[in-house]
Structure 1
């Protein structure tokens, strides 16, 4: 039973979305494009307005955070430009960026997978704790044989 549980856990962890790393350590950034923009990169690259999230991992993700808007370089995985509020306001005033900015929210599935370590630890604890408690309950419920005090 435990072997099956661990096999299923590994399968689920390896099947995580690209935004979530399976069995990794440290931080991992994910970029999510929202809309193409007229702004061009330093080297003339086409850009898209998007947002960045960061996931902290210890074997499985234990924390996910929203890092705000960024300019994502189209066609180049993982490359982006940070943008400040002042620069963003200037681009919006000149019509290079949408005004208002498109809303974004970390997807429900990404949010759940971003905290995957905690429920995994809880399930592992239950898998080991329930049989332990059953053994203890069985040991407590077993009556002890009576002591014969008539023979001395």
Structure 2
């Protein structure tokens, strides 16, 4: 008698072992009404997001170079000058921008013009005002009038990136849920 002959006689189809697939049964809904799997199904999703932010904050000490904390000035060169500063260093006209941050920047401030020091990325000398500034401009060391200082849209995008991230993490999912509940 051939193996599986009795199965063939009963017209039961026999598949080779390689073709057998296990299909799990559908997942029953969780008590909160969600069909998606999560480790703690009863915990609201915004608490997950808050927990992730807290873990990022706690792990930031190991990765402090990737996140920003406190105030950070950036000096952006606008025009070279023939003026010399302390220690006979070369000065240039610069635009000073300050970002305040906690993990990501949350505000940006335009601080106007300063004298940047060549070779130093974070040091500057405040631009004089009044009669001293007019004398420097009359000597031809600075342009008269000074060009207007303004931040670009990219500066604003980077300067307020914490608020954008919080909006994307908390508000957008809430809005999505509200819109789906209405439908």
Q: What TM-score does the superposition give when structure 2 sets the normalisation length? A: 0.57
Measure, in 1, the Cα distance between the counterparts of 2:179 and 2:108: 37
- 1:131 CA drift (Å): 7.2
**RMSD in angstroms over aligned alpha carbons?**
3.0
The one of 48, 52, 70 aligned to 1:26: 70
Q: Is 1:71–1:81's contact at 8 Å kept on the other side of the alignment?
A: yes
1:129 corresponding residue in structure 2: 174
Q: Distance in 2 between matches of 1:57 and 1:44?
A: 35
Query: Comparing both chains, which one has the higher relative contact order based on Cα–Cα distances under 8 Å and sequence gaps of 6 or more?
Result: 1
- Where structure 2 has 5 or more consecutive residues not aligned to the other structure, the ranges are 1-44, 46-51, 57-64
If each structure's strand is expressed as a fraction of its own residues, which one has the higher value? 1
TM-score by length of 1: 0.68
Gaps of 5+ in 1: 11-20, 142-152
Partner deviation per Cα, 1:32-74 (whole Å, 9 max, x = no partner): 1000012110211111101101001011111101111100111
> Which portions of structure 1, spanning 4 or more consecutive aligned residues, are displaced by more than 6 angstroms?
none
Establish whether residue 115 from structure 1 lines up as the match of residue 149 from structure 2.
no
Who wins on radius of gyration, i.e. which is larger? 2
CA contact (8 A) 2:112 2:149 kept: no
